[in-house]
Amino acid sequence: MAGRRPADPLLLPGQKWLTVLVLLLPTAFLALRSPLVLLAVPPLAARFWSADPAYWDVRQHYNAVLMPILFLALADGLGRVRGEAPGRERTLPRRVALLVPALVPVLALLLFPTSLVGSAPPRLADARAVLATVPDGARVAAANRLAPQLTGRCTVSLFPYLTRPGRDAPWGRPTAEWVAVLDRPDDFPLPEAEMVRARAELADQGYREVAAGGGVAVYRWSSD
């Protein structure tokens, strides 16, 4: 693409800079005073190089593994600041100890909808009843947000990557007699349009809808 610089995949779009800001803000940016912060650069750069927005979205879990590094860098950076300003040795750690915990709820309120706090998803009971139609021990291909509800009692693979019974499955992927999907799919692991198309093709593969409600539908494969 004309005008594209080699570093653009690491720097653009601007969402990546928001992720960097969110990572450093809980440390009051004191992590930048320590060379330990450089340990976070390789995994962060690898994520930013990806074309998948999930790897650099602040709402995903990928930032969790970086926080121990950043808080160690905070402790080291705090020690360096104290060494540079001996007269502030007692007051600075106390101020940082008060500031850092205060930043966490502020970030949470800014990044996530407050309407979700203390409320259950709509029609939750109906959705659970639909998922309960999948028997214990079944092999099921489930949407990303439904999979955690089934992993404790079923063998789960990720929809739309499924192999129907009687077909050879790729190594490590079980066949799926059952499928659990969302009426309004998100864009993971494929764009929403492709997820909708994959659901529409279930009937052609021998899956029949057996239960629906609460924004969830369950299909079962039949050889008939």
Span 111-148, pLDDT tens digits: 655 544 444 455 788 899 999 999 999 999 999 989 99
Q: Render 103-149 in DSSP notation, one character per residue.
A: HHHHHHHHHS-GGGTT-PPTTHHHHHHHHTTSPTT-EEEE-TTTGGG
* pLDDT exceeds cutoff 90 at 56: no
CA distance linking residue 20 with residue 41, whole number of Å: 10
pLDDT at 206 over 50: yes
**Residue range 173-185: mean pLDDT, rounded:** 89
Helices 15-24 & 67-84, crossing angle to 10 degrees?
60
Task: Tell me the mean pLDDT in the region 148-169.
Answer: 86
Global confidence as pTM:
0.57
As a whole-number percent, the residues of the chain with pLDDT over 70 amount to: 78
